[in-house]
């Protein structure tokens, strides 16, 4: 690729791309983390720690998806508007500083879900090295472990907006509320979960490993999330499902719409 700007969130996928780019291209690689109300502060801290540990060039920029009506209206294409904002910034950076490519951390597993952001990536000629190499999530984690990347087993952390059902407007206040709820749950020891926002109700999805803990500490969870501002709190007995809010898009369970 010659030179590359990596969209670096701090998750295992983009971390592997950033580390590989640094080891392969050295000064011709740059990792960029986009900060907005949809990025939890904890995720930025992780990204910065990884950059220091592996010594790769890292830059933090601010994106303005909250100013895009298509994003704040929260249609099923929300991620398209978000990624359009991101790749617009990254493409401008590559042109201004003479990098050849923008790269992301998409892998082969990302082809099996509803991902309108992939359309935005294609429109901006962003490349997906992990996808091009035919790597799935499990293989990405195995390689990251071998390279001693500490987030190799880090649970996926989509942006905070993904906790808001389609059609419910995305606001800074709502995103802050979700972040505080998830920080509280993480502080209780839960590892893989989502705090799904349904107006006055917070619906907690927990992984199978975390379900018993969540049930045992349900009184603390209810009290803590009421302090955050929710009136009701529920524990979803189906458990954690990545992209569960996409279920409303599936006509009679037969798949997701194309973008």
Pair 139, 213 in one domain: no
Residue 216 in any domain: the answer is yes
Statement to judge: residues 41 and 68 lie in one domain: yes
Nearest of 229, 244, 247 to residue 178 by alpha carbon: 229
**Is the pLDDT score of 112 beyond 90?**
no
Does 24 fall in a domain? yes
Q: Are residues 182 and 105 in the same domain?
A: no
155 is a domain residue: no
Counted domains in the chain: 2
DSSP the chain: --SEEEE--SSHHHHHHHHHHHHHHGGGEEEEEEE-TTS-HHHHHHHHHHHHHHT--EEEEE--GGG-HHHHTT-TTHHHHHHHHHHHHHHHHHHHHT-SEEE----GGGGGS--THHHHHHHTT-B-HHHHTT--HHHHHHHHHHTT-TTTTPPP---GGGGSPTTSPP-HHHHHHHHHHHHHHHHTT--SEEEEEETTEEEEEE-HHHHHHHHHTHHHHHHHHHHHT-SEEEE-TT---TTGGGGGGSGGGS-----
- CATH code at position 185: 3.30.1340
Range of the domain at 13: 4-146
Q: How confident is the model at residue 242 (pLDDT cuts 50, 70, 90)?
A: confident
State the burial class of residue 105 (Cβ atoms within 10 Å of its Cβ: 0-12, 13-18, 19+): buried
Within this chain, do residues 203 and 226 fall inside the same structural domain, yes or no? yes
Q: Is 137 in the same domain as 21?
A: yes
What is the model's pLDDT at position 259?
Answer: 33
**What is the β-pairing status of strands 4-7 and 29-35?**
parallel
Given this model, what pLDDT does residue 120 score? 92
Last residue of a domain, one of 93, 112, 146: 146
With a cut of 70, say whether residue 249 has pLDDT above it. Answer: no
Same domain, 120 and 18: yes
Tokens of 128: 């997906």
The yes-or-no verdict on residue 196 having pLDDT over 50 is yes
- What CATH number did the domain enclosing 69 receive? 3.40.50.620
Q: How confident is the model at residue 99 (pLDDT cuts 50, 70, 90)?
A: very high
Q: What percent of the chain has pLDDT over 90?
A: 88
Length of the chain, please? 259
User: Do 11 and 127 lie in a common domain?
Assistant: yes
Has residue 84 been placed in a domain? yes
**136, 30: one domain:** yes
Structure tokens, 192: 């893989």
251 in a structural domain: no
Q: What is the pLDDT of residue 113?
A: 67
253 domain residue, yes or no = no
14 shares its domain with 141: yes
User: What is the spatial order of strands in the sheet that 232-235 belongs to?
Assistant: 193-198, 201-206, 232-235
116 assigned to some structural domain: yes
CB 222 within 8 A of CB 233: yes
One domain, residues 33 and 63: yes
Is pTM beyond 0.85? Reply is yes
**Residue 185 near residue 230, CB atoms below 8 Å:** no
Which range, of 21-35, 115-129, 178-192, 220-234, averages the lowest pLDDT? 115-129
Are both 21 and 108 inside the same structural domain? Answer: yes
Last residue of a domain, one of 118, 146, 174: 146
Whether 70 is covered by a domain: the verdict is yes
Q: CA 256 to CA 259: how far, in whole Å? A: 9
Please say which residue of 146, 181, 201 terminates a domain.
146
Q: Are residues 131 and 175 in the same domain?
A: no
pLDDT given at position 241: 81
Rounded to the nearest integer, the mean pLDDT of the chain is: 93
Tokens of 118: 């992939």
pLDDT at 258: 34
């Amino acid at each position: 690729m010659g030179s590359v700007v990596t969209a670096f969130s701090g998750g295992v996928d983009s971390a592997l791309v950033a580390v590989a780019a640094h080891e392969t291209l050295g000064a011709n690689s740059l990792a960029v983390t986009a900060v907005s109300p949809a990025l939890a502060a904890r995720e930025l801290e992780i990204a910065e720690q990884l950059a220091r540990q592996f010594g790769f060039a890292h830059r933090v920029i601010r994106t303005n998806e909250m100013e895009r009506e298509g994003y704040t209206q929260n249609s099923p294409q929300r991620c398209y508007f978000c990624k359009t904002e991101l790749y617009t910034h990254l493409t401008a950076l590559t042109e201004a500083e003479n990098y050849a490519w923008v790269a992301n951390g998409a892998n082969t597993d990302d082809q099996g879900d509803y991902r309108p952001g992939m359309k935005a990536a294609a429109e901006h000629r962003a490349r997906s090295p992990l996808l091009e190499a035919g790597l799935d999530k499990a293989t990405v984690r195995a390689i990251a472990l071998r390279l001693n990347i500490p987030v190799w087993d880090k649970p996926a952390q989509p942006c905070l907006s993904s906790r808001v059902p389609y059609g419910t407007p995305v606001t800074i206040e709502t995103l802050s509320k979700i972040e505080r709820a998830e920080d509280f749950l993480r502080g209780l020891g839960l590892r893989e979960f989502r705090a799904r926002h349904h107006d006055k109700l917070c619906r907690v999805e927990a992984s199978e490993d975390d379900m018993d803990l969540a049930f045992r500490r349900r009184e603390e969870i209810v009290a803590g999330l009421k302090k955050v501002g929710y009136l009701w709190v529920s524990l979803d007995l189906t458990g954690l499902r990545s992209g569960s809010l996409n279920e409303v898009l599936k006509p009679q369970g037969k798949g997701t719409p194309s973008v």
